[in-house]
């Protein structure tokens, strides 16, 4: 089997949620419960406009570091909250408090529902490694290592750049290209020699900003046109579409 990639590609950089693991919907559910609680509290006797788990998730939080996702959605709704501190508990109307609440809800949902992979993506990563390509997982999630281990795919990657690594190295989150650039450096390749695989609009923006050799948008929710507008060179419904017979 072969992969439908440019011959110059030597490494593949994969987003986690929505590309490798079927956890984007769990993230969306956790964000919705968190933001809807805040929006109800602030609505009072006025109209309550809930968080949309598709459009709001795609536009404002998907692919971004947790705190930045919180800030971006709040700005979109014209809501100003204090930053607070990392120790703010659930129910505290601060950026940190909401972010902590979302993370607690996410971990509960993952524990209750488990972690499922996309089989086509796993086959693609396995074939990439069989062809001698280097691989990395690049995620804004601070829970990346636990999710990858729970999914049983931690042995498929030569490097991991996640939310914890980004914080330790002071890397800007997606849509900035910094985390992908850091992964390419760990794999000893230049950006033109690496392909980025993303389902998030912010993620494909990061791939384009980093001038990577190929940016593949993975359309799980019917946003193919938006992925192209934000920087995807190629859009597929599943990475298995990029696996072909040997030439």
**Which class does domain 2-22+118-244 fall in?**
alpha beta
Q: What percent of the chain has pLDDT over 90?
A: 81
Confidence at residue 113, expressed as pLDDT on a 0 to 100 scale: 82
Contact 140, 65 (CB under 8 A): yes
Quickly list H helices, the chain: 24-43, 55-56, 66-76, 95-113, 119-130, 144-151, 163-169, 178-186, 201-209, 224-230
Res 111 pLDDT > 80: yes
Burial class (CB in 10 A: 0-12, 13-18, 19+), 145: middle
pLDDT (average), residues 77-86: 96
The SS3 of residue 234 is strand
Predicted local confidence at residue 146, as pLDDT: 87
Strands 214-218 and 234-236: parallel
Mean pLDDT score across all residues of the chain: 94
pLDDT above 70 (res 89): yes
Average pLDDT (207-220) is 97
pLDDT band at residue 246 under the 50/70/90 scheme = low
pLDDT at position 62: 87
What is residue 232's predicted lDDT score, i.e. its pLDDT? 98
Domain boundaries for CATH 3.40.50.1000 within the chain: 2-22+118-244
pLDDT tens-place string over residues 148-207: 988 999 999 999 999 999 999 999 999 999 999 999 999 999 999 999 999 999 999 999
Q: What is the mean pLDDT of residues 124-152?
A: 94
Q: Cα-Cα-Cα-Cα dihedral of 88, 91, 94, 97, to 10°?
A: 40
In angstroms, the CA 152 to CA 115 distance is 9
pLDDT band at 63 (very low <50, low <70, confident <90, very high): confident
17 labelled catalytic: yes
Q: List pLDDT tens digits, range 1-42.
A: 789 999 999 999 999 999 999 888 888 999 999 999 999 999
Q: How far apart are CA 13 and CA 239, in angstroms?
A: 13
**pLDDT for residue 71:** 97
- 4 or 110, which is more confident? 4
Q: What are phi and psi of 13, to 5 degrees?
A: -115, 115
Mention every residue, 6+ apart, whose C-beta is less than 8 A from residue 185.
none
Q: Which long-range contacts (CB under 8 A, 24 or more apart) does 125-129 make?
A: 125/12, 125/14, 125/20, 125/153, 125/156, 125/157, 126/156, 127/1, 127/2, 127/3, 127/243, 128/3, 128/12, 129/156
Higher pLDDT, 135 or 43: 135
Residues 50 and 196: their CA atoms lie apart, in Å, by 32
The per-residue pLDDT for 114 is 80
């Amino acid at each position: 089997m072969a992969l439908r990639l440019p011959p110059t590609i030597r490494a593949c950089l994969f987003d986690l949620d929505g590309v490798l693991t079927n956890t984007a919907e769990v993230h969306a559910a956790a964000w919705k419960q968190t933001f809807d609680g805040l929006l109800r509290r602030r609505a009072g006797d006025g109209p309550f406009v809930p968080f949309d788990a598709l459009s709001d998730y795609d536009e404002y939080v998907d692919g971004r570091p947790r705190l930045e996702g919180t800030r971006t959605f709040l700005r979109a709704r014209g809501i100003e909250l204090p930053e607070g501190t990392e120790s703010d508990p659930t129910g505290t109307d601060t950026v940190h408090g909401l972010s902590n609440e979302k993370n607690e809800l996410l971990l509960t949902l993952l524990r209750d529902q488990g972690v499922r992979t996309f089989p086509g993506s796993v086959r693609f990563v396995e074939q990439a490694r069989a062809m001698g390509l280097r691989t990395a997982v690049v995620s804004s999630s601070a829970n990346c290592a636990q999710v990858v281990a729970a999914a049983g795919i931690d042995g498929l990657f030569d490097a991991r750049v996640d939310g914890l690594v980004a914080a330790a190295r002071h890397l800007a989150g997606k849509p900035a290209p910094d985390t992908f650039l850091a992964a390419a450096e760990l794999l000893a390749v230049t950006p033109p020699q690496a392909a980025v695989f993303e389902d998030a609009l912010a993620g494909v923006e990061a791939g384009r900003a980093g001038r990577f050799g190929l940016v593949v948008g993975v359309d799980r929710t019917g946003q193919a046109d938006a992925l192209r507008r934000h920087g995807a060179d190629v859009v597929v419904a599943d990475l298995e579409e990029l696996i072909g017979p040997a030439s």
